[in-house]
Structure 1
Amino acid sequence: MTDAPLRAELLLDREVPEELRRELVAAFGGLGAPPVRVRQTVEHRGAADIPWIVLVSLPLQAFLSGLGAEAVKDAYGAFKGVVRKTARPASPEPGAPDEARTARPIVLQDAATGLDIVLEPDLPAEAYERLTVLDLTEFAVGPVHYDRDRSRWRSVLDEAVG
Structure 2
Amino acid sequence: MPDALPLRAELLLDQEAPEALGQDLVAALEGLGVRTARVRRAVDHRGAGDLPWLVLASLPLQAFLSGLGAEAVRDAYVSFKGVVRRGAGRTAAGDGAPRPLVLQDARSGLSIVLEPDLPAEAYEQLLGIDLAEFHVGPLHYDRQLGRWRSELDEAAG
Fold in common (TM above 0.5): yes
Matches of residues 3-14 of structure 1 in structure 2 within 5 Å? 7-14=8-15
For the Cα contact (< 8 Å) 1:55–1:109, is it kept in 2? yes
Q: Distance in 2 between matches of 1:117 and 1:70?
A: 23
| Residues 1:6 and 1:28: Cα distance change in structure 2 (over 3 Å) | closer
Aligned-partner Cα distance in 1 for 2:60–2:25: 17
User: 1:86 and 1:76 mapped to 2: Cα distance?
Assistant: 15
Give the whole-Å Cα distance in 2 for the aligned partners of 1:156 and 1:46. Answer: 20
Alignment correspondent of 2:144: 149
| Most deviating of 26-35 and 62-71 | 26-35
State the alpha-carbon separation in 2 of the partners of residues 33 and 128 from structure 1. Answer: 18
- CA distance in 1 between counterparts of 2:63 and 2:10 reads 15
Correspondent of 1:105 among 100, 108, 115: 100
TM-score by length of 2: 0.92
* Residues paired across the two proteins, number: 152
CA–CA distance in 1 between the matches of 2:19 and 2:44?
17
Q: Is the 8 A contact 1:25 1:36 kept in 2?
A: no
Equivalent position SS for 2:24: helix
8 Å CA contact 2:142, 2:148 repeated in 1 = yes
Q: Which residue in 2 is equivalent to 1:35?
A: 36
Amino acid at match of 1:70: E
TM-score, normalised to structure 1, is 0.89
* Seq. identity, %: 68
Task: Note the residue ranges of structure 1 that are not aligned, 5 or more in a row.
Answer: none
Runs of 4+ with deviation above 3 angstroms: none
User: RMSD in angstroms over aligned alpha carbons?
Assistant: 1.5
The reply to whether residue 160 of structure 1 matches residue 148 of structure 2 is no
Please name the residue that 1:116 is paired with. 111
**Structure 1 partner of 2:78:** 77
Partner amino acid for 1:130? Q
